[in-house]
Amino acid sequence: MAIFATLGPAGSNHELVTRRYIRFHGRDDVDLVLIDDFEAGLSMMAEGSVDFMIQAGAHFQTAATLAKAHFRHHIRAIDTFIAPSHPLAILTRVEIKEPKTLALQPATRDYADLSNWITLIEESTTVAVGDGLLAGRYDSG
């Protein structure tokens, strides 16, 4: 049984891509652990509680994760792949006529022109952006 770790929560792009990766390799002997951050995942790998960790190359912490994996834990990157993710869009709450705040996951910052929003708020995942938008914490997300 192999244990993979990737960024949660359930429904995240990382979960989607990791499940696609596992399916692509025809593995059915895999447990998937959803983590809150990649530092925790590295620690889990170093202690042997997970075997592999998948992080999207577009994630804003990828370079730091690779450096820490290599120099602190002697963990090596062993594979790269290209995978489609969930479709993305900028949504605005229907009752907001002139949106001022936009929440985003930092890796998506350059996907669109964000100049119409006064305040940009970073969230760790696109799922967190959606949750905050539904909770009314942001005008757009």
- Judge contact between 3 and 33, C-beta under 8 A: yes
pLDDT at 53: 97
Contact assessment for residue 31 and residue 3, using Cβ atoms and an 8 Å cutoff: yes
Cα 121 to chain centroid, rounded: 16
So what's the pLDDT on residue 79?
Answer: 93
The token duo for 31 is: 């447990």
CB 141 within 8 A of CB 91: yes
pLDDT the model gives residue 124: 82
Nearest-Å Rg of the Cα atoms of the chain is 17
- Tens of pLDDT along the chain (141 residues) come to 999 999 999 988 899 999 999 999 999 999 999 999 999 999 999 999 999 999 988 888 899 999 999 999 999 999 999 888 888 899 999 999 999 999 998 888 888 999 999 999 999 888 889 999 999 999 999
Q: What is the pLDDT of residue 113?
A: 95
Residues in CB range of 128: below 8 A, 6 or more apart: 9, 103, 105
Nearest one of 62, 47, 49, 48 to 17, comparing CA atoms: 62
Res 10: pLDDT: 92
How far, in whole angstroms, is CA 135 from its chain's centroid? 20
DSSP assignment of 31-72, as one string? Answer: EEEEES-HHHHHHHHHHTS-SEEE--TTSTTHHHHHHHHHHH
The closest of 52, 25, 27, 19 to 38, measured between CA atoms, is 52
